[in-house]
A and B are shown apart, each in its own frame.
Chain A
């Protein structure tokens, strides 16, 4: 006999139990919605669980917590709530009409949701995407995989490492490897500035005398079975290796920290429009996508630098989902937000102008003494140093909304003051 698929209904279904999804679920439940939170791992917390270093929570709590400690603040709240948590559960499909096929340890369910929040996080870029030539031995892996092996499984993936990319994961793993007795020979960054947080450059590299090679990249990989070495080259202004600068370095581990990509498969499945710049969904100030009732938050929208911002976005998406599930609509967001001078991208992509909001941006290059402003208004804030490695977050308050009334398009720009 064919086993039946159980059909259930929920006001809000949140997909992904990391910091973004936990915040959205908590807010939804606090506001009285029936919330289901789906997580494929055996526990909530997402990537925080393997981030055993501290530095989480400075913006949210004014404290420096470890990843698991930060996660625990939310998991304990969820445990004592009525949120319907589904662990070890996989979304098989998501329709634009917000019907979800869900595989759980207890069978397959068809869940009809009023609103869906996608908090699916991001993945690390692989060797193939950046096309590093050479042999294909073991010992080449994304930094996050190494972090999982070390922090969750108790194994060292190598003894003498080189790290390509100065993103935060690469910096933190360099320190972690050092603590575990491995030698980190160096970190290379193709840009002429580090792409991770400055505090991580200081605390993870400088404090351990690990050299950072700016404007360098790995141009060859050696080793038939296990990694035996790499070739490091300097690059020109077009990021092309400069002939004659090649240098061979003997290592048994090459970790890649060359960027994260939002996990956007469900957005695509549901027919949501994406931002080609971030690969994440285009969203409004409540993190609603252009498919009504489908929201997204956290790294699934754009790569954030601090988990605190992820949490705040999750709360906001939760607010939006509650409003949508209740009334089926939110104020029409018809003012486009666009990236102006020196801005790589800005989130959200559109706003209603009727409610206060926060926008996050990344600049195109490091700059000093700048104004982050909305063009044609007095809304502006001064920053001493901005760099693409750090996200800039600005609030537009209730009082400032009047200034946006006549604008059809909100252009965010970053300009040097002197």
Chain B
């Protein structure tokens, strides 16, 4: 018999997975449907990973109301879930002493939004003390110590694992193709969410489909959600430059340019980006002009940075609503259908606050919430060999032969970590990458890919030809070589 769900969530990005994890505190049947083979592969996986202080959203917008509260809640997510998150603070810098009043405007805006500890620094010595390699031409900065960085894909993986451990059902490779709505009063399941493999009856549906949330909303007759994708491109530098940049560095936006930010990511490597390219259709292809723009933009604040250490470049998408604000609330077209769309920046920051708010909406609309006494908020990370001291390594590897084989030599990832990533749900090379950092280092998988293909095929019991980079046709090996007599 088909399982009936109290809540079906469409989309397993940081929003969908976050709501699922928060709902797993209660005695509820919750399903998450994801079109990709893994969590966080839409807008979540490729963004700046910044937990904004909250001064940049215009007061009065939905964005503003969730930014600072989201920021404040981050520790409550990152700590029990063991996710890399650091409050490293952010700088908004200007080289033009005539524009310091613009920094003051941001301070006022921030205070209105509930941001604490904002300060403007004009003392160059102090600026250089906090950020030694920043351009000498910087005249003033807005310092926001509460801003931080998180690894968005790792956060989403952790939310997923914790939600799953607490009883949420996840369905991958499950694009939603239609939603039936039963509007007759008194029916127990108002919605039937349909994917190619299965139907999911549910009382409530959360539309957290990112770029595709407009499309999903229209499945219940709601034509009010309009999402336009906008691409942002990035460069990632080798981890050997760790420490060269210590804060999240934004240039003060001018009327000509929003500027390129330079920041250490939560796992240490420096990133440059993003630019802003509105698109008709979603695409994460990079462009020469875009990569050049990001490259040159980064040099504005850090003219001395060693750009020969760029190891990769990529693009991510923003799900930008026509209103340019978050679209959160029950749809006018269908009671019990909650849209959580248009979650562009600062969506990652806002995610914990959005999850709480959505649960509040569900309760208000009649979902009864009984706390599950078995709920466990903690999730153990995969032990990270690269962060261990030799004594710990001696102990850790003693009984674990898989930990004695280092597969990814750039990031020091062992076979034990890779096998555990697969055990925890990674089915593709990208899935392993986001969980372990293998293929993220200086050689970008040049050395370890053949071994990773072998391990993945052995663990999953499939031919190496069936191993993919990211599912759906992204195979690595076309055929066997010729037989040798």
Q: Which chain A residues have a beta carbon within 8 Å of chain B's beta carbons?
A: 2-5, 40, 88, 90, 92-93, 101, 103-105, 107-108, 110, 123-124, 126-129, 131, 133-139, 141-142, 144-145, 148-150, 152-159, 180-181, 219, 221, 225-226, 241, 252-253, 265, 268
Contacts and interface: CB of A to CB of B under 8 A. Distances in A.
A376 B475 CA distance: 60
B474 interface: yes
Interface of B: 235-236, 240, 283-288, 290-291, 295, 308, 310-314, 390-391, 393-395, 397-398, 401, 404-406, 409, 442-447, 449-450, 453-454, 464-465, 468-482
B311 A149 contact: no
Contact of B446 (A126, A180, A221): A126
Contacts of A139: 476
B394 A133 contact: no
A127 B395 contact: no
Given A134-B286, A138-B469, A159-B479, A108 B390 contact: yes
A4 B393 CA distance: 11
B473 A226 contact: yes
Given A110-B390, A129-B310, A156 B480 contact: yes
Nearest to A256: B446
A104 B405 CA distance: 9
Contacts of A142: 443, 446
Contacts of A127: 312, 444
B478 A157 contact: yes
29 contacts: A4-B394, A5-B390, A90-B406, A107-B398, A123-B447, A128-B235, A128-B236, A128-B313, A129-B310, A129-B311, A131-B313, A133-B290, A136-B284, A136-B285, A138-B476, A142-B446, A145-B446, A145-B447, A149-B477, A150-B481, A153-B454, A155-B464, A155-B478, A155-B480, A156-B481, A157-B478, A225-B468, A225-B470, A225-B474
B444 A157 contact: no
Most buried by B among A90, A144, A158: A90
9 smallest beta-carbon distances between A and B, as pairs: A128-B312, A126-B444, A138-B469, A225-B473, A108-B394, A225-B474, A155-B477, A138-B474, A133-B286
A126 B472 CA distance: 24
Contacts of B472: 225
B33 to A, nearest CB: 21
A349 to B, nearest CB: 20
A93 to B, nearest CB: 7
Given A149-B450, A225-B473, A156 B478 contact: yes
Given A3-B398, A145-B450, A135 B390 contact: no
Contacts of A101: 390
Contact of B285 (A124, A135, A225): A135
A253 B477 CA distance: 10
A359 B203 CA distance: 78
A240 to B, nearest CB: 10
Given A5-B390, A92-B390, A133-B290, 16 more contacts: A40-B406, A103-B406, A123-B443, A126-B312, A126-B443, A128-B311, A129-B308, A131-B288, A135-B284, A141-B446, A145-B449, A153-B453, A155-B480, A156-B481, A180-B481, A225-B468
Nearest to A179: B482
A236 B443 CA distance: 29
A294 B444 CA distance: 28
Contacts of A92: 390, 393
Given A124-B443, A226-B473, A152 B450 contact: yes
Contacts of A137: 469, 474
A103 B295 CA distance: 39
B449 A141 contact: yes
A331 B286 CA distance: 54
Nearest to A154: B481
A138 B466 CA distance: 13
A25 to B, nearest CB: 21
B284 A133 contact: no
Nearest to A3: B394
